[in-house]
C-alpha cells in the first residue's frame, strides 16, 4: 500500500487530522471530492468559540486543547492565518458559559462602558480569530512538508479508501450522511456578508443555540465578516438578499458605521450538526481501521486540533 492512512475530507477537520498523522511519521493521503477552498470551512467566520457542540465535558477538552495550539500558531499570523484578537461576547456572564470558560486566560465580565448600546452584560476575552482561506492554505503546506498529499477525487465508499490503506479517517462532515450512512448528521445553514472594514479591530458576537438569527462581527484581513444565521435542516446554499439585509441591520446596531460599508461578498455554508460529535474507531469489512471524526456543528475550528490529536491516537491503537 502506498499510504498508511487515507483521510477522507479536506475541510479544517480533515486537514488538521492529516497534519497530525503525517507529523507522527505516517504516510498520509487526503481524498476529497472538493478542494479545501470550496468546503464549509472556507466560509466559516473563524472565531474560536464552543458553539453548537455537545457533550460539554468532552467538547471542552477538545476545545481547550485546540486553543493552546492555535494560540501558538498566532505567534506567526502571516504564515498561519491565526491572530489573537480582543472581543466581546454579548448577553452573557462567565458563569453561564460552562466549565471551559474558567480555563480561558483573561476571560472576564465586561465593564458597562465596554458594551455596545442595548447590552447590559457581556464577556471580554482575547481569542484566536482565523482567516480561514489563509489557514487552510497553511495546513496544506504543512501537510506537504510532512510528506502528505491531497487528491481531489470522488469517494464512492469508505471501503474504497480502506482497500488502499491500512487505516481510514472519515472527516466528511455532512458527507457522512450518505457515505457512512449516518442520517443523524444534518445541515445548519449559515449565511454571512463580507463588507469593507470601516475601522473595526475587535470581534463581537451574540450566539444563542435556540435561535436561527445570530449576530457576529469578525474583522479579517480581507474585510469584516458579518453574521449570521443558523437554519436547521436547510440545504439551500443560495444567499438570500433579504437575509443579507437583516444581517447588516443587526450588525449595524452594534457598529453604526457598517451600514455604509461596501459589500464585498455573500457566502453560505452548511454546518455539519449532530446530537454529538462522532469520534470513534471501528473496522471496515476488509480489516482496515476506520476512525470517524465528524459532526462538529458550528465548532469545527474550535475543536479541530483536540479532535485531530485524539483521532491520531485512535489510528495508532
For 173-225, what is each residue's pLDDT tens digit?
A: 999 999 999 999 999 999 999 999 999 999 999 977 778 899 999 999 999 99
| Domain total of the chain | 1
Cα angle vertex 223, ends 142, 303, to 5°?
45
For 269, list phi and psi in degrees, rounded to 5: -135, 155
CA-wise closest residue to 304 among 96, 85, 40, 104: 40
CA distance 26 to 3: 8
pLDDT at 317: 79
Residues annotated within a binding site for D-dopa = 216, 271, 298
Band (pLDDT 50/70/90 cuts) for residue 1 is low
Q: How many helices (H) and strands (E) does the chain have?
A: 9, 15
CA distance 251 to 158: 42
Residues annotated within a binding site = 40-41, 155, 172, 216, 271, 297-302
Provide, rounded to the nearest whole percent, the portion of the chain with pLDDT above 70: 99
Average pLDDT of the segment spanning 219-236: 97
Band (pLDDT 50/70/90 cuts) for residue 55 is low
CA distance 150 to 10: 8
- Residue 147 corresponds to which cell in the numbers above? 510528506
Residue 186, domain extent: 3-316
pLDDT, mean over the chain: 96
Residue with cell 499570523: 77
What pTM value is reported for the model?
0.96
CATH of the domain at 44: 3.40.50.720
Average pLDDT of the segment spanning 38-50: 95
Residues annotated within a binding site for FAD = 40-41, 155, 172, 297-302
Tens of pLDDT, residue by residue over 74-107, are 999 999 999 999 999 999 999 999 889 999 999 9
Kind and range of the H or E element at 134?
A: helix 132-145
Amino acid at each position: 500500500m502506498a499510504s498508511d492512512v487515507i483521510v477522507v475530507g479536506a475541510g479544517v477537520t480533515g486537514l488538521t487530522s492529516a497534519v497530525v498523522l503525517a507529523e507522527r511519521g505516517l504516510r498520509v493521503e487526503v481524498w476529497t471530492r472538493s478542494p479545501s477552498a470550496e468546503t464549509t470551512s472556507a466560509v466559516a467566520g473563524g472565531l474560536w468559540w464552543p458553539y453548537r457542540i455537545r457533550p460539554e465535558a468532552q467538547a471542552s477538552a477538545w476545545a481547550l486543547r485546540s486553543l493552546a495550539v492555535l494560540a501558538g500558531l498566532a505567534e506567526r499570523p502571516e504564515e498561519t492565518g491565526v491572530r489573537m484578537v480582543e472581543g466581546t461576547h454579548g448577553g452573557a456572564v462567565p458563569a453561564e458559559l460552562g466549565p471551559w470558560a474558567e480555563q480561558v486566560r483573561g476571560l472576564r465580565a465586561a465593564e458597562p462602558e465596554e458594551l455596545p448600546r442595548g447590552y447590559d452584560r457581556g464577556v471580554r476575552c482575547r481569542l484566536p480569530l482565523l482567516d480561514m482561506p489563509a489557514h487552510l492554505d497553511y495546513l496544506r503546506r504543512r501537510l506537504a512538508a510532512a510528506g502528505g498529499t491531497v487528491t481531489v477525487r470522488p469517494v464512492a465508499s469508505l471501503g474504497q479508501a480502506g482497500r488502499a490503506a491500512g487505516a481510514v479517517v472519515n472527516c466528511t462532515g455532512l458527507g457522512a450522511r450518505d457515505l457512512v450512512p449516518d442520517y443523524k448528521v444534518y445541515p445548519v445553514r449559515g449565511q454571512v456578508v463580507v463588507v469593507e472594514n470601516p475601522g473595526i479591530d475587535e470581534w463581537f458576537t451574540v450566539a444563542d443555540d435556540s435561535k436561527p438569527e445570530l449576530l457576529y462581527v469578525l474583522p479579517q484581513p480581507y474585510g469584516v465578516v458579518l453574521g449570521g444565521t443558523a437554519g436547521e435542516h436547510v440545504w439551500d446554499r443560495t444567499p438570500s438578499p433579504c437575509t443579507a439585509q437583516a444581517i447588516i441591520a443587526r450588525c449595524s446596531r452594534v457598529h453604526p458605521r457598517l451600514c455604509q460599508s461596501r459589500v464585498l461578498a455573500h457566502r453560505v455554508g452548511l454546518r455539519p450538526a449532530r446530537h454529538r460529535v462522532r469520534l470513534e474507531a471501528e473496522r471496515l469489512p476488509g480489516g482496515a481501521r476506520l476512525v470517524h471524526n465528524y459532526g462538529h456543528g458550528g465548532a469545527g475550528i474550535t475543536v479541530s486540533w483536540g479532535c485531530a490529536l485524539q483521532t491520531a491516537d485512535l489510528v495508532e491503537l
